[in-house]
């Protein structure tokens, strides 16, 4: 029997698995997502703007009600930008 925490973790893993498949099927997705994140990074409500534009212009869909995987994806995008900034 699985616990609620295990079920939630399984859902997050499943969502991330589907996302990774999308990124691997279209190599331009990652580049587009980072470009979009770069544009909205320092704006008020930047995370929501990122999510909306990513959903509108790529095969990645981020619903209005974010899941834990959606939040994790936005945070990873910001981490990539932080790492990028640290290189310069």
Query: What pLDDT score does 39 carry?
Result: 96
Mean of pLDDT values over 36-57: 95
Note the pLDDT tens digit of each residue in 50-75: 999 999 999 999 999 998 889 989 99
Residue for token pair 């990774």 = 20
pLDDT at 87 over 90: no
Question: 10 CB contacts (<8 Å, ≥6 apart)?
Answer: 2
Query: What pLDDT score does 12 carry?
Result: 86
């Amino acid at each position: 029997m699985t616990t609620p925490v295990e079920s939630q973790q399984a859902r997050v893993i499943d969502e991330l698995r589907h996302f990774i498949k999308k990124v691997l099927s279209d190599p331009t997705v990652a580049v587009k997502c980072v470009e979009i994140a770069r544009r909205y990074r320092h704006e008020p409500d930047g995370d929501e703007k990122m999510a909306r534009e990513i959903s509108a212009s790529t095969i990645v869909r981020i619903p209005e009600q974010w899941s834990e995987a959606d939040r994790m994806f936005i945070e990873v995008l910001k981490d990539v930008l932080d790492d990028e900034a640290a290189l310069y």
